[in-house]
Homo-oligomer: A and B are copies of this chain.
């Protein structure tokens, strides 16, 4: 997508957004998780224009998030299903839903409930956790350069370290 030229793409969140951050794209993925798998089904469910839907589905297939299959060789009918890469978007979708429930709808006004198929109990709230299961807030995290850091990213980390030394009290928190 053309957005790539605008900003630092040496960031996994930016690259994830580049593939699935479009408004319609993530709603198509949501529908796929609900079980919708035909062009007509997505169109009816989302009320989206055909050209936009075709464009987004093509991009999802090109990015290997969904695949286009022909379930029955004798019938000219296609289906769109999530790949492993697409199914792995579930934590993002559920994190979005839980945030929307908490901060937009509020307790007692949730449109949906996600429950465990086994015992029909509500699922847990998603949290960032340490390997031992402790919940981590932003102040409990540190960002470090990874093996794929570009020179730009490394320079940014060096700048942040230098800035942190002379930081005033209100000036934010540690980046690395």
Contacts and interface: CB of A to CB of B under 8 A. Distances in A.
Interface residues of A, number: 100
Number of copies: 2
Interface in A138-170: 138-150, 153, 160, 168, 170
A92 B10 CA distance: 18
Contact of A16 (B14, B104, B141): B104
Interface in A93-111: 93-105, 108-111
Contacts of A172: 34-37, 81
A87 B148 contact: no
Given A7-B47, A126-B95, A131-B122, A100 B26 contact: no
Interface in A33-64: 33-37, 46-48
A162 to B, nearest CB: 13
A140 B94 CA distance: 13
A106 to B, nearest CB: 8
A145 B114 CA distance: 9
Given A89-B99, A113-B145, 17 more contacts: A7-B46, A7-B48, A11-B97, A13-B93, A15-B100, A15-B105, A16-B96, A17-B26, A85-B103, A87-B138, A91-B128, A92-B99, A114-B142, A120-B142, A121-B131, A124-B130, A133-B133
Interface of A: 3, 6-8, 10-17, 19, 21, 23, 26-27, 30, 33-37, 46-48, 69, 71-72, 79, 81, 85, 87-105, 108-124, 126-131, 133-134, 136-150, 153, 160, 168, 170-175
